[in-house]
Amino acid sequence: MTFQQDLFQGKTAVVTGGTQGIGAGIARQLAALGARVIAAGLAPTDAQRNALGADIEVAALDVGSNDEVAALFAPLASLDILVNCAGMIRRVEEHQLDVFEQVINVNLTGTMRACSAARALLGKSRGTIVNTASMLSFFGGGLVPAYSASKGGVAQLTKSLALAYAQDGIRVNAVAPGWIATPLTQALQDDEGRSQAILERTPLGRWGEPEDVAQAVVFLCSPAAAFITGTIVPVDGGYLVA
């Protein structure tokens, strides 16, 4: 255990996109450190609920819906941590304008929806937000124009909200995961040629795990990061600088 086990005792955290992949890893880590965690995801399955464990509350959420986002936060008496992990990718289909708009609505506008809905609660606790950017916040992706644009937007949104929310005592940062072993990247993991190319460019020589990202999120939410806001932290095994 890297962190003190009761680090977030008495704290409440919401993790959007928290029922699978990176979001689930973050939800489990926050819960392990004492937080009450609400993992919100699109149509969560019994398997996802079981994988998260009984200590984590699971809620259905479409971050593309203003009403559903507002309804998630309305019953909460307090909130200390918001982690925005909900996202989608459609690869080549993103060149179609309707698909492009859908991806932007979920990845970028969905992040803004959650931040806006949580702001008043986080202001009361002087809480923190961690958004999920990407390596594609820093360079383009020809097959994923919407995903790349949305993640570039998340990086700039993070910086902008860090400025806007500082008056409320809210810190806003982001992590930028590299190649993480999740269902979203399973096809690439299974493609021997693509996987080998990724590993050859990654100085640490392995796929990342959701827990690698979760540890960075915990740091950004902790008192150790009390003077850090507006940052984008790559969690990529060195891929970005290779």
Supply the angle between the helices 110-125 and 66-73 in degrees, to the nearest 10: 20
Set out the domains of the chain in order of their start, with CATH numbers. Answer: 12-181+209-236 (3.40.50.720)
Residues 6 or more apart whose CB falls under 8 angstroms from that of 94 comprise: 100, 103, 143, 144, 145, 146, 147
Phi first, then psi: give them for residue 42, nearest 5 degrees.
-75, 115
Mark whether 147 is an active-site residue. yes
Q: Which structure tokens are listed for 22?
A: 């990176």
Q: Could you say which of 147, 165, 179, 207 is catalytic?
A: 147
pLDDT at position 177 over 80:
yes
d(CA 159, CA 178): 20
- Interval 212-238: pLDDT, tens: 999 999 999 999 999 999 999 999 999
- Interval 116-172: pLDDT, tens: 999 999 999 999 999 999 999 999 999 999 999 999 999 999 999 999 999 999 999
Which DSSP state fits 185?
G
Going by C-alpha positions, the residue among 131, 81, 141, 139 that lies closest to residue 107 is 131
Q: Which structure tokens are listed for 56?
A: 């984590």
Q: Which structure tokens are listed for 18?
A: 């928290």
Choice between 229 and 188, residue whose per-residue pLDDT is larger: 229
pTM: 0.96
